[in-house]
Amino acid sequence: MSVLALEALRCGYGEAMVIRDVSLAVGPGEALALLGKNGMGKSTLLKGIMGFLPRQAGTVAFDGRVLAAGEPHRLAELGIAYAPQEQAVFQDLSVEENLRVAVPDRQRLRDGIERIAGYFPFIGQRLRQKAGTLSGGEQKMLILGRALMAGPRLLLLDEITEGLQPSVIERISGVLQAERRTARIAMLIVEQNVAFALKTADRYALLERGELAEQGRTDEAGAQARIIGRLGV
């Protein structure tokens, strides 16, 4: 059964930007890259799944169970982790406190920090530093680390590679693939970085003006060239 299933979802902010009848499914251990030009509704779709936006029609189901809009905290309890694009770090809390928000339990916190620091060593070295004084790129790594802390079943990532140095992007791709293999996490990855997205995910979906324009497997011959062509006009 799919971990995440959208059925003819419609949502948006007032009139301005709308997701129109999007249906898609992501299974355990599967990663779907959501691609598209700017302003095509990629971030809006993630916010719609999390229930931050009112839904006009359609359903969002997690493990076959239909989720209500307007209760993002319930989704987090169910095992959905969301790494938003903007302003997602508690600036005045320390690195450790930012991680503790995701996992209140002490033992699990220690284990989690050990695991995350293995991925991003700076996190282990600077647990007491105020998260707001981290650089922009380090904050992105902290956001990803926090999303992985609780061992989610579904991970929603919004442009996680933005502002990161190439070697860190490589590492993140590796981390995500490892998490998929070992923990069977389902992932929905919104990206501008097409190369990263295709390398990390096994399927892709192209969003155009709020609608699904194309779907396919990332290992298909010529997928990258076709997508870049489609995005590049």
Partner 1 sequence: MKKPLNRQHLALLAVAIALLIVGPWVLPQFAQNTLVRSCLYAVVAITVDLLWGYAGILTFGQATFFGIGAYSAGLVFTHLGFSAGTAVLALVGGIAASMAVAALVGWLSFYPGATPLYASVVSLVLPIVATQIIFSGGNFTGSSSGLSGFESFEIETSTWLWLSGGLLLLTTLAALRFVRSDVGRLLAAVRENEARCDYLGLNTSRLKMLLLVGLSGVCALAGFLYATYGMVVAPEMAGFQFGTELVIWVALGGRGTVLGPVFGTLFIDLGSAYLSGDLPFVWKLVLGVAFVFVIVVMPKGLLPALVGRFTRRTDASTAPAGKLVDAEPQPLAGLAARGRLALHVDAVAKHFGSLTVLRDVSFDARHGELLSLVGPNGAGKTTLMRCISDGRERSSGTIALNDHDIGRLPPFECVRLGIGRKFQTANVFDGLTVLDALAVARTRLDRPRMWRRSESVALPAAAMAIVRTTGLDQLLATPCRVLSHGQKQALELAMVLALEPNILLLDEPTAGLSKPERTQIGDTLVRLAAEHQMCVVLIEHDLDFVCEISSRVIVLHQGEIVLDGSVDEVVHSTLVRDIYAGAAALPHAAAERTA
Residues forming the site for partner 1 (CB under 8 A): 13-17, 37-40, 42-43, 85-87, 122, 129, 133-138, 140-141, 159, 162-170, 192, 194, 228, 231-233
Nearest to 86 by CA among 129, 122, 50, 136: 136
Q: Contact, 231 vs 194, CB < 8 A?
A: yes
Q: Which residues contact 42 (CB under 8 A, 6 or more apart)?
A: 34, 35, 36, 158, 190, 207
Instruction: Tell me whether residue 14 or residue 64 sits nearer to partner 1 (CB atom).
Output: 14
Instruction: Tell me whether residue 174 or residue 216 sits nearer to partner 1 (CB atom).
Output: 174
Instruction: Tell me whether residue 29 or residue 137 sits nearer to partner 1 (CB atom).
Output: 137
Smallest distance from the beta carbon of 211 to partner 1, in angstroms?
16
Smallest distance from the beta carbon of 14 to partner 1, in angstroms?
6
Nearest to 157 by CA among 85, 72, 73, 68: 85
Smallest distance from the beta carbon of 196 to partner 1, in angstroms?
11
Smallest distance from the beta carbon of 78 to partner 1, in angstroms?
27
Smallest distance from the beta carbon of 21 to partner 1, in angstroms?
20
Smallest distance from the beta carbon of 173 to partner 1, in angstroms?
10
Instruction: Tell me whether residue 64 or residue 232 sits nearer to partner 1 (CB atom).
Output: 232
In whole angstroms, give the CA distance from residue 131 to residue 205.
34
Instruction: Tell me whether residue 3 or residue 36 sits nearer to partner 1 (CB atom).
Output: 36
Instruction: Tell me whether residue 59 or residue 85 sits nearer to partner 1 (CB atom).
Output: 85
